[in-house]
Amino acid sequence: MFEEGIALKQRYGEENVFDLSLGNPVMEPPAEFVRELKRLAEHPISGMHRYMENAGYPETRAAVAAQLSQETGIKLTVKDIVMTCGAAGALNVVLKTILNQGDEVILFAPYFVEFLNYIDNHGGVAKVLPTDEQFMPRLDALEAGIGPKTRAVIINSPNNPTGAVYGEDVIHRLGELLCEKEAQYGTDIFLISDEPYRKIIYDGLKYPSPLNHYLRSIIVASHSKDLALAGERIGYIAVHPDCDQHDELMNGFIFCNRTLGFVNATALMQQVVRHLQQVTVPVAEYQQKRDFLYGHLVNMGYSLVKPQGAFYMFPKSPLEDDVAFVRELQQWQVLTVPGSGFGTPGHFRISYCVDDRTLEGSLAGFREVAEKFNLC
């Protein structure tokens, strides 16, 4: 898709191609980010570019812990946080730490495709379970799917590619189910919550944290999306302070951060985000983009679940063959991604973290294709 996009842009001109295929936000980081960078450049902290503790600067970890404490009401401290190279780095560190060869990791489709690669990196076996019509994890399938080899369940809310936000009831029941299954098999099962979109949430919803519902929760997050710093690779892992394997996990994470070759999250970004824990890109702008595109697509006859967070939508493909449908849209210079890439054929993903001109420009192509397939 990426390469075809470049070819289309060369052929038709950048302004005539409506690229909704990438989760790479066009928003710039907030003004506070620039302020912090300037402050550090003008008043450098002695030794700020040297090696550090592999877990990250205690001050930054304390700031992340304070933020999570405020969000969850659970008292987290510097001892519960490891700074990482993005959520991707965090996921690899966690999986490397907890997996033995052949351990199963449960995911729900549609899923962020890199999960499969990360699990494979560390000798795990991915087991994919379904979601329901609203893209919520099917807990009946989870109940049947957990076995003696299940080591972890990965959830991702707000979700890429659907924009679904898991409700408190879902998270609560999930936690109960994992406790029941641990007792049944005499195992420990970790709930890995992948949360890079945690703060990009709409309609006044409150994010329900797994930390409030399951002690063996491990949070992986980053500032790639909430501060629009995807290229800076700054994220973290948080462990529930009351988890009975807390110290062993933390030692494992710090060791694996080092031996996987990340060593530590970048020093400069740790210094910057330390003071930005309360800052977020203007989420209302994403909500406006969601409302604009969702409204138009529904009017054209597309069938889709209204996203409640992140910046993706996952409509049904009017053709059974989602790859063929994505090619139809491509004829109108509208670029999207087939649902098969997320383990869910029959859908396609739209990423709306683009400028308004691109969104507006894409409507003609969506309308042409809707008419062709008699959606209207």
Ligand X SMILES: Cc1ncc(COP(=O)(O)O)c(C=O)c1O
User: In the complex, which residues of this chain contact ligand X (CB under 6 A)?
Assistant: 23, 86-88, 112, 156, 160, 194, 196, 222, 224, 230, 235
Q: How many CB atoms lie within 10 A of CB 63?
A: 20
Provide the minimum distance between the beta carbon of 118 and ligand X in the complex, in angstroms, as a whole number: 9
- Judged by beta carbon, residue 215 or residue 272, the one nearer ligand X is 272
In the chain, the amino acid numbered 243 is: C
Least distance between ligand X and beta carbon 33 (Å): 16
Cα 11 to the chain's mean position, in Å?
33
Rounded Cα distance between 303 and 234, Å, is 36
Q: Which is nearer to ligand X, 222 or 270 (CB)?
A: 222
Min CB(181)–ligand X separation in Å: 24
How many Å separate Cα 242 from the centre of its chain? 25
Neighbours of 187 (CB within 10 A): 15
CB 284 within 8 A of CB 27: no
* Closest C-alpha to 2, from 351, 361, 373, 320: 351
Give the residue with the Cβ less far from ligand X, 86 or 341. 86
Q: Which is nearer to ligand X, 215 or 218 (CB)?
A: 218
Residue number, 104 or 194, with CB nearest to ligand X: 194
Q: Which is closer to ligand X, CB of 36 or CB of 194? A: 194
CB 142, CB 132: distance < 8 Å? no
CB closer to ligand X out of 98 and 192: 192
CB of 69 to ligand X, least distance (A): 22
Under 8 Å between Cβ of 363 and 131: no
Q: How far is the CB of 154 from ligand X (least distance, A)?
A: 9
Q: Which is nearer to ligand X, 178 or 237 (CB)?
A: 237
